[in-house]
Amino acid sequence: MKIICIGRNYVDHIAELDNIRPDEPVIFLKPDTAIAQPNLPFFIPEFSNEVHYEVEVLVRINRIGKHIQSKFAGKYYSEIGLGIDFTARDVQQKLQSKGLPWEKAKAFDGSAYVGTWFDKASVGDLTALPFSLYKNGTVVQEGSTSHMLWPIDGLIAYVSQYFTLKIGDIIFTGTPAGVGPVEKNNRLEGFLKDQKAFSLIVK
C-alpha cells in the first residue's frame, strides 16, 4: 500500500508557514514503513530538533481505480479516519531552501500516524466534518473539511490521474492551522467530530 499526502490544502495553514497558495494540489508520498505501529508511542527521531504534529483527515481506498471522476469518487472509499502527518520541520525547511525533495522530513519511520477508522456513513456530511487535536488536554488544532481548498472527492479525482489507487491506500488530506512542535511525554488526542480517533504519547 502507499500513503498519498496533500500539502497546503487549508488557507490558514498556508498563511502560518508563509507558503504560496497553490493553483493545484501539492502531493507527496510516504512509504508503508512510515505507518506508526499501533499502541506504541511516537518516538522523536534523532535527526530532528523540531518535529511538528499536523492533524489530518484520512481516507482509506477500498477499490482499485485510475482516472476516477470526482462524481464517482465516493465509491472508492467507505472509511474515514484521523491521523498525524509528523513532520521534521527543521529538516523540511533546510531541504525546501535548497529546492530538494521532502522525504527525509516527511516520510521517515513512524511519520504517518493512523487512528481509528470510522464508517463514512456514521460521521455525517464529509464536506463539513469538524476535527480537532489536543496536546496535553489543550486544543491546538481545529478544522473542518469545509475549509479545504480541494475536498476529498476532488482530491481522489486529481491524485488518480497520476497514481493508480489500490485497496488499502491511505490519503492524508492536509492540515489546518495550529501546527507546532512535540516534546517528550506530550499526549496527543484527536477527535473526528465528537468521536475520539486516537490518543498517543510522544517519547
Contact set with Mg ion (CB under 5 A): 54, 85, 175
Written as nine digits, the cell of 108 is: 521517515
Cβ proximity to Mg ion: between 78 and 95 the closer is 95
- Closest CB to Mg ion among 73 and 84? 84
> For residues 189 and 134, is the Cβ–Cβ distance under 8 A?
yes
SS3 93: helix
**Locus of grid cell 484521523:** 82
In the complex with Mg ion, which residue's Cβ is closer, 54 or 79?
54
Q: Closest-CB residue for Mg ion?
A: 85
CB of residue 164 to Mg ion, shortest distance in Å: 22
Q: Based on CB atoms, which residue is closest to Mg ion, 78 or 181?
A: 181
- CB 174, min distance to Mg ion, A: 6
1 neighbors 168 (Cβ within 8 angstroms): yes
Q: In this complex, which beta carbon is closest to Mg ion, that of residue 85 or of residue 153? A: 85
Contacts 24+ apart (CB under 8 A), 74-80: 74/153, 76/156, 76/165, 77/120, 77/152, 77/156, 78/119, 78/120, 78/121, 79/117, 79/118, 79/119, 79/120, 80/117, 80/118, 80/120, 80/123, 80/126, 80/129, 80/192
Residue with cell 509528523: 86
Report the nearest approach of Mg ion to the CB of residue 72 (Å): 26
